[in-house]
Amino acid sequence: ETKWMCEYCTYENFPNALKCTMCRGAKPLSSEDIYRLRNNDDGAVGSGGGGNGGGTAAIITADNLHEQLKPLRIADSEFPKQSTHLHHHQPCSGGKWSCVTCTYENWPKSRKCIMCGTAAPTAPSPVGRMSPSRSNLAIIPTSSPERDVTVTRDNKSSRVSNSRRSGEASTAGNNYEYERRRRQADWTWLHACQGVVEGDPVPVEAFLESGGDPTRQLTPSEVSLLNRPSAFDVGHTLVHLAIRFHREDMLAMLVSSIDGGGPGLKRVPSYVAPELASAIRRHAATIFNAKHSHSLPFPFVTEFTTFILPAEIEDLPSSVQEQLFEELLDKDVQQQLESEPAVINWSVEITVQLGSRLYALWNRSQGDCLLDSLMQATWGVFDRDSLLRGALADSLTHGGQLLYPRWLESETRQARQLEFSLSEAQWAEDWSSLVGRASQPGASLQQLHVFALAHVLRRPVIVYGVKFVKSFRGEDIGYAGFQGVYLPLLWEPSFCSVTPVALGYTRGHFSALVPVEHSRTHDMGVPNNMVRVCYLPLVDSERKLLPIHFLTKAEVGSEEHLLRQWLDVSTTDGGLLVAKQRAQGHPLLVAQMLEEWLNHYRSLAQMSGTPYNRTIPAHDFSSDGDTDDE
């Protein structure tokens, strides 16, 4: 018995192998030739046809069958008319019945084919005896009615080696559905999957830079679009693909992105007090106004809160403070934002004299980092219930007619600066992709989504981000473009809060930037025990004004006027333009959560001051996303 060839990679396997040794593809169900000639009693056909009686006989094989047949016409078999041609087929010994799908000869008592699982026909017929119940096809030469070839269907044999061609053929019957799936697909994610298989790190890096979730799994529709069953399976992640195809460099990059905040355990307030964190999220869900109207197309919050770290942190011993910040902050993000050229904390006047140093909070790094960061900057918890995700999707669905003109004008202006242009159909396709991402958990979010969320929160959002996105090798691979001020320009200024929230952006990841509350006030010398003020710079380290996103042509050139209209702007003694972020104390639930969180570190401080110091326990919580306690 000879070796059998794999249909996917053409590797020749031993006869007893059930799967391909190279690609693990399944062995074909039937290795016999599917072409059965009606007049094959002699095993040969005259090469010249009936008119050339003296022609030499040629053996018909799968390789030369196309040379022996003229153009063929595929039609349904007409069994009554062809019954005279089928009487010579010998019945199968022992009364076995032949499977209509793979032609395997099964025992009479078998209710389904043991090879492919097809149910037995109601009236089992011996092999070779054709009946109307057999779903066969007859391939009939149009110019030679004497030659009659019967072809049985074989699902495995019908697969061609080029899987993409077979995929296109399978979608020809339902082209509308196929094109709809293609338009709605997240091609950044699909290209990343292809990049892992092909060994190309560029699309993988682009997916991670855009905030994609490295633990995202392939869905059945995405597997069908990729159309490479030997490489992609439902449920596979980028990590699965990197392990399967031995991409060690990509695997290291993916694992580091999953870790998010670097090595070590994380103990954020919502992990220490999970019941209070759940209560905070339930309360936050009640402050969303989801009613839509022509004048109010966006869902919006009805209560303003700003999260800051409590001043009691400064009362802890330095060793405990160090552990607290290690378990609370994202040290990698903090280092990137503070490294040259610094994005945050670059002014000694702001950080030291005005006490407005910003700290990057750690979050879950699961594709929803923008939403988590905004919830942390306002309520101090993660967006586990997808409150902001739902509000974002509603904003683009019901308020798209207001957002689209500003987005189109901004994108067209940027395209003109880069000396390229897109057609209306291409702009519409890009907009449809942005709308689809808003409702898809784990999908990467863009500047438009930050702009829409500023309207949901009814307050400005300031993003301090790196200018260039770097690869895991440290090379610049693209312009980030997230840094700047996002104003809720579609609302009236009187309807919104002048207190902004601050976010940090590094390599496809958003983090909440919050200050530490101080016991003394820094509101330009005006004491107020109820209001704490943090000063957020509106210029970069080169004293250039931060850009304002999604301005119209009429608004361009009046950036400083818009900042003073939407923010509480002041100028420091050093001449820096800053925005005041006012925090009027924490809500009761947030204050209770912070108190429980601080009690943990207070107990550590007490243990560190006793004669018998114990090792600080670090086994309660992990940095691998949510724990069972939350």
| Predicted local confidence at residue 373, as pLDDT | 96
What pLDDT is recorded for position 31?
43
Q: Which helix (H) or strand (E) holds 40?
A: none
d(CA 275, CA 278): 5
Q: What are phi and psi of 43, to 5 degrees?
A: 75, 15
Token duo for residue 443: 């999908």
Which of 369, 449, 455, 586 is an active site residue? 369
Structure confidence at residue 224 (pLDDT): 86
Q: Please tell me the predicted confidence (pLDDT) of residue 556.
A: 93
H helical segments located in 341-462: 348, 369-378, 387-398, 400-417, 424-438, 447-457
* CA 630 vs CA 271, 571, 626: distances in Å: 6, 43, 6
Q: Give the whole-angstrom CA distance, residue 607 versus residue 47.
A: 98
Which residue in 236, 449, 509, 586 is the catalytic one?
509
| pTM, full prediction | 0.59
Alpha carbons 502 and 522: distance in angstroms, whole number: 18
The first and second tokens of residue 451, run together, are 């702009």
State yes or no: is 509 an active-site residue. yes
Question: Which residues does the chain have with pLDDT short of 70?
Answer: 1, 30-94, 123-184, 211, 252, 255-265, 293-294, 365-366, 470-474, 519-530, 608-630
Q: Check residue 61 and give its pLDDT.
A: 55
